[in-house]
Amino acid sequence: MWDFSVGTSLSIMARTWPFILLRMVVYFGITLAYILATGSGAGVGYGVGHISSDPDGPASFAIWGGIVGFGLVSIAVYWVREYILYIVKAGHIAVMVHLVDGREVPGGQNQISYARGVVTQRFAEANVLFVVDQLVKGAIRAITGLIGGIAAFLPIPGLDGLVRFANTVVRISLTYVDEIILGYNIRVNSSSPFESARQGVVLYAQNGKVMLKNAIWLAVIMWVVSFLVFLFMIAPAGALLYFMPGQLGGWAFVFAIVFAWAFKAALIEPFAIASLMQVYFRTIEGQVPNPEWDRKLADASSKFRDLKDKAIGSFGAGSGTRPAQGV
């Protein structure tokens, strides 16, 4: 089974309720924006469609109007993702790290201000955090390749399909590793976030068996819950679209997916991060980054090499071997 405590994860979520509420406001606000933009676009399209001589013009234009509205919100979300990472995700992770380590954190609105101060001290600007996060995500993908690459050479008939399926499961399970590395970065508080991130990735890779087992369990739990939320939301989404112009019934499926995504981001992600954080900090206690894994990752990932280069450039010590702190 898994190596994390469900009770501890739920307790961390309860004690970080200001960030849970903030996540709900942000992600369900995005969902509402999708609904309003799609509905408005469909309404405009439906009206414009009456200009067409085609009897199906209003319905067709309504569909395209809905697509345009949905697309505009998607573009806006893409552009604000850096802000969401800096204010919402990083702040929440900072508070989680301190709680896992047994430190006291303030409650209420003071908790958000406290977390912002921690993140600002660690990452002076949002773009620094964003660059670190993107490099870590790229480096983490190399772990999938290293795991899958070994099995791909085994001479067992029909193994290719199994390897592809296994790699898909591994990729899904690694979704939140960058958040765990961010937590490690905040925890060690070194003078170079790039060097801390490099160490965090190597430590994760060298403990890949333990981390992957727990990550897969969490991935299964998360996607089952998300799928149930999706099924639950199909009917309300369809009822909402009943009042929109044109034939937009198919959008019920899309809105249900968006709502399930919002629910997952607001409530399920924090549980997964708190759980993996427990396992990661306990597993790496007293360890130092293994040079062999450092080399493997550097050989397999250009993003990891970029991370090392930035670590050397900003800190001048790309091979730091500071032991991981205990929980």
| pLDDT, tens digit (0-9, with 9 covering 90-100), for 248-276 | 555 667 777 788 888 888 888 899 999 99
Longest distance between any two alpha carbons in the chain, whole Å: 74
Q: What is the pLDDT of residue 159?
A: 56
Distance CA 40, CA 62 (A): 9
pLDDT confidence band for 319 (50 / 70 / 90): very low
Neighbours of 226 (CB within 10 A): 18
Buried b (16+ CB within 10 A) or exposed e, 239-272: ebbeebbbebeebbebbbbbbbbbbbbbbbbbbb
Tokens of 249: 């019934």
Per-residue pLDDT, averaged over 9-18, amounts to 93
Neighbours of 289 (CB within 10 A): 24
Q: What is the pLDDT of residue 12?
A: 94
* Chain centre to alpha carbon of residue 123: 19
Q: What is the pLDDT of residues 170-207, one digit of tens each?
A: 666 678 888 999 999 999 887 789 999 999 999 998 99
